[in-house]
Chains A and B, each alone.
Chain A
Amino acid sequence: MSERLNGAIVRATGLTKQVATGSHSLTILDDVSLEIEPGEAVAILGASGSGKTTLLALLAGLDTPSTGKVYIDGRDLFALDEDGRARLRRDRVGFVFQSFQLLPALTALENVMLPLELSGVPEARARAEAVLRRVGLGERLDHYPRQLSGGEQQRVAVARAFAPEPQLVFADEPTGNLDAATGETGSTLVMVSHDERLAARCPRRLRLDAGRLDGRANG
């Protein structure tokens, strides 16, 4: 099952995602293949509806493709079951959602502690506190998501993604600055955005258009 090629940390081949809409089926992603090296920062650009978020979700194993494969660090993601994929994420992957997806019943600190606790990290609280302080939320540890502004919520989400020091971070339309966090952990970053200016900070950019990867954009 393990297949390590060129040392890529992410490798996708022939990814296609179709969804049924009544009698028709709609192709959201069409035969997408890509490779991402460790330590790279990659931006996937595309207009709304181009399939960016779907691609990101498939790369992180949050959804299943209609056809195609994804290898994370050489492991075939879809040969694993939900639990297997979750374990892989726990050990290697962080994720920043566009809408943050914080648990409303947990405080900022508890939200950040959650992935650490799931991995059984003993000093979860101290580490989570440190990460939150680094993103400037040291004073808001005990606030619930609804008591935080949108920007603050995103910083909590970023802190949650980076606290376990993952090898790989996926970010969906991040509006804030991820540099501080990535710089310190040395993680590979894959983000999707429609914002050219934000994407320009990533050395490598891929462009999605109507579900297909545009090779020319590869910078």
Chain B
Amino acid sequence: MAERLGALGRLRLAARLLARDWRAGELRVLAAAMVVAVASLTTVSFFSDRVSRTISREANQLLGADLVVVSQQAIAAAYAKRARALGLDITRAVRFPSMAQHDGESLLTEVKAVGEGFPLRGHLRIRTAPDSPAFEPGRVPEPGTVWADERFLRRLDVAIGERITLGERAFTLAAVVIEEPESSVGFLNLGPRLMFNEADLESTGLITVGSRVSYRLFVAGPEQAIDRYRVFAEQRLAPGERLEDIREARPEINSALDRAERFLGLSALLTVILAGVAIALAARRHLQRHLDGCAIMRCLGASQGEILWLHLLQFAMAGLLAATLGCAIGFAAQQVLAGLLAPLSRVPLPPAGWQPVAHGFVAGVVLLLGFALPPLIALKKVPTLRVLRRDIGMPDGLGLSAYLLGAAAMAGLVLWQAQDLKLGGYVLGGVIALVAASAAVTAGALALLARLVSGAGFSWRFGLANLRRRAVGSVIQVVALALGLMALILLTLVRNDLLASWQSSLPPDAPNRFLVNVQTEQRQAILEFLGARGIEPPKLHPMVRGRLTAIDGRPVSSRDYVDERAKRLVDREFNLSWAAQMQPDNVIVAGRWFAPADHGRAVVSMEEGIAETLGIELGDVLSYDVAGVPLEVEVTSLRKVEWDSFRVNFFVLAPPGVLEDYPASWVTSFHLPRERGALMDELVRTFPNLLVIDVAAILEQVKRMIDQVVRAVEFVFLFSVIAGLLVLFAAVSATHDERRFDAAVMRTLGAQSRQMRAAQVAEFLFIGALAGLLAALGASATGWAIAHRILNVPYSIEPTVWLAGLAVGALGVTVAGVLGTARVLRTPPMQVFRAAA
């Protein structure tokens, strides 16, 4: 047979066998597992792709573009040329601080000359009369006119229609800017703001050699073109030039985007695991049922190779069909999801890409082959004697070792899906630990049972003895159930906790204003000023400015660094601060926080990101120049900082008693209710040296991102639930055939339904309770690790989850098991024997 069948013949035979199996209902569980696996993976993949693209695009609204080329000199024409060649939209702006005059009064203003088309992303809204509604003008100021923000109008006491002077040129104030991209990005925007047409720039005579000017080229367009442009620009950047995107511009947004992607990734990971488990169980059962067929085929003269090929082809065909269907369902589901999410988003969702399809498809086929291949290889070794003796010839490949290749395939997929070694590692570690612990605990419990049940009633004894006798099957069942339940528990209880703690990390009264440049002698007055106006006095943090001059005795220069951010960091002055207590949004990742004994010692704690950028390690001695006085400090800890907490944070912190003698200013952040914006003008009039930074827009943006991700995770969760239920079903049906046969024999011997059901309940209760408890413990541990090590949100382990896991596991598995085997008890025994013969 082997030699006579050509490739085409094999294919045809495999297709016929597949059709027969399908007709006989043999393939349904396996196909369902495949379809759900691929559908959920594709949905998650489609969706996270589209959502993360939307979220970044939405965040780009704050920047006014997808990318900004920033330079201290006029930007080379090549940048604009390349952008146009790639079909991207561009516009320009020139930003600089300047004095604006009105009626003999002067005000330091942040001035911006903008080109036609500004902004490329986000919204510019103005008002042309004091009480008229704000609108989007769709253009920039006419030559000869300026638009300014409310602060400018109040501080200079100027009204729409009046004249102001900028350098050598007089302008008419034509409108008030209500909303503008860029307004909260970058720390240059400290003062009141004003914009005019770039055509007027030269006539002001303000741009001279040595002026502090920032030239900006805004670029926006389709993602792929932007990605290509980014590559081009990064290679071309000269000293004094840099590329800005929203992630780089705002650490808060970056931090939140990272977390959003991780949340989505986590849901997808768990779906992969659930799907893998369901496929593994279904493949095992499918192959078990084909043992006889294989033995007969071998009797009829099929070679081992022939059997392997036929089944492989059969699996490949089934896999392709199921994967295709899964992709189609995934695509439809994510369209529904996109529809649900549209109202939450301020920009339209980008169209779905094709990669998710490939992603889901490959993942499904890899899982199928990973779990089906080892048993398939074992299948070809079925002894021909099995035709005569059905009780022999269960090949070794159907034992635990068969899962190794599948587990490896799943591990690979998890790491690929996670796109993040750390997250993937934690999830995989949790899964491996759970598998090992479940196997060990189950084996131990079964051994213990042997002693405990001797005094129990017949049904209990029989049911639990069954578990012990089918030890390998029981262990596999408990492990599979524990995995499925753990994923479900992680996705329900733990997910809620994680999302809630993320959301609560930004409460409604999260700080939305930063107050900078408070002088030491002003502290009391400012706190009293705020307190008298109903604002809870915030904590003031000291700030000492110092330039980094050497690391471990090696002089530091921006020329030593390739990284643009590192160059800028070295060129500018660092903000150093001191504190005895660490802030709650900081976590030590290396070394240790200051003990009371460290107070007065020349040591510092550094933020890990900046340490990495500058190549600073624990134990390095840093030399600073603080207002002309040298200062040497040793790095004794590295901290991770939650920038999206919107609290004041510092890259470098010393213990008390080190920096107090250096000149310091103070900084704080606090929440200002939206309707009390005018309070800040009063504050700045009272204390003219203060700088107020408004981060309300960024705060809003981060909150909106969190809401979007929470919705998305909730939807993706639906799929995980389906996959989880499928695992339960597959695990319960894994021993279905054995149970059917046992029940028929027992019926013949006169067993009552009550006795058989009691025996089954005993079995299922034990398996379910054990799996549920293990799953809950695993979910708690994994949730804790994910919260603390990956997402950096507070999370406390709830022992009630364990109880819930035990109860849900015992109840769910028993109900599913008893329902699943109910028909067994109603079938006349001879029908079972005939089917098995």
Contacts and interface: CB of A to CB of B under 8 A. Distances in A.
B830 A119 contact: no
B752 A103 contact: no
Interface stretch (B25-33, B386-394, B512-520, B780-788): B386-394
Given A101-B833, A118-B746, A146-B391, A63 B828 contact: yes
A83 B754 CA distance: 9
A115 B749 contact: yes
B753 A83 contact: yes
A101 B837 CA distance: 10
Contacts of A99: 390, 833, 837
A215 to B, nearest CB: 26
A115 B458 CA distance: 11
Contacts of A104: 391
Given A63-B830, A64-B828, A114 B391 contact: no
Contacts of B754: 83
A103 B745 contact: yes
Contacts of B748: 60, 62, 89, 95, 97, 101
B335 interface: no
A148 to B, nearest CB: 9
Interface in B734-751: 738, 741-742, 744-751
A118 B751 contact: yes
A178 interface: no
B462 interface: yes
Nearest to A107: B469
Contacts of B741: 101, 103
A64 B827 CA distance: 10
B750 A118 contact: yes
B549 interface: no
Contacts of B828: 62-64, 82
B747 A86 contact: yes
A145 B391 contact: yes
Contacts of A57: 830
Interface residues of A, number: 34
Nearest to A150: B389
Say whether chain B's binding surface is mostly helix, strand, loop, or mixed. Answer: helix
B837 A86 contact: no
Given A63-B830, A97-B833, A82 B746 contact: no
A82 B830 CA distance: 12
Nearest to B753: A83
Given A63-B830, A82-B825, A120-B458, A115 B747 contact: no
B412 interface: no
Contacts of B601: none
B524 interface: no
B639 to A, nearest CB: 58
Contacts of A118: 458, 746, 749-752, 755
A86 B745 CA distance: 11
A93 interface: yes
Given A62-B748, A106-B469, A150-B389, A117 B837 contact: no
A172 to B, nearest CB: 10
Interface residues of B, number: 33
Q: Which of A83, A87, A89, A117 has the most CB of B within 10 A?
A: A83
B392 A83 contact: no
Contacts of A105: 466, 469-470, 738, 742
A146 B392 contact: yes
A91 interface: yes
Nearest to B829: A62
Nearest to A84: B752
B533 interface: no
B767 to A, nearest CB: 15
Contacts of A64: 828
Interface in B106-135: none
Contact of A117 (B458, B745, B831, B833): B458
Nearest to B468: A105
B822 to A, nearest CB: 12
Contacts of A115: 749-750
A106 B741 CA distance: 13
A119 B745 CA distance: 15
Contact of A90 (B389, B738, B750, B831): B750
A106 B466 CA distance: 8
A114 B825 CA distance: 17
B676 interface: no
Contacts of B744: 101
A117 B755 CA distance: 11
B451 interface: no
Given A57-B830, A97-B833, A104-B391, A82 B753 contact: yes
13 contacts: A62-B833, A82-B825, A82-B826, A86-B752, A88-B750, A91-B750, A103-B741, A110-B465, A114-B745, A115-B749, A117-B458, A118-B749, A160-B749
Interface of B: 389-392, 458, 462, 465-466, 469-470, 738, 741-742, 744-755, 825-826, 828-831, 833, 837
Interface of A: 57, 60, 62-64, 82-83, 86-91, 93, 95, 97, 99, 101-106, 110, 114-115, 117-120, 145-146, 150, 160
The 5 closest A-B pairs by CB, nearest first: A90-B750, A105-B469, A63-B830, A115-B749, A62-B830
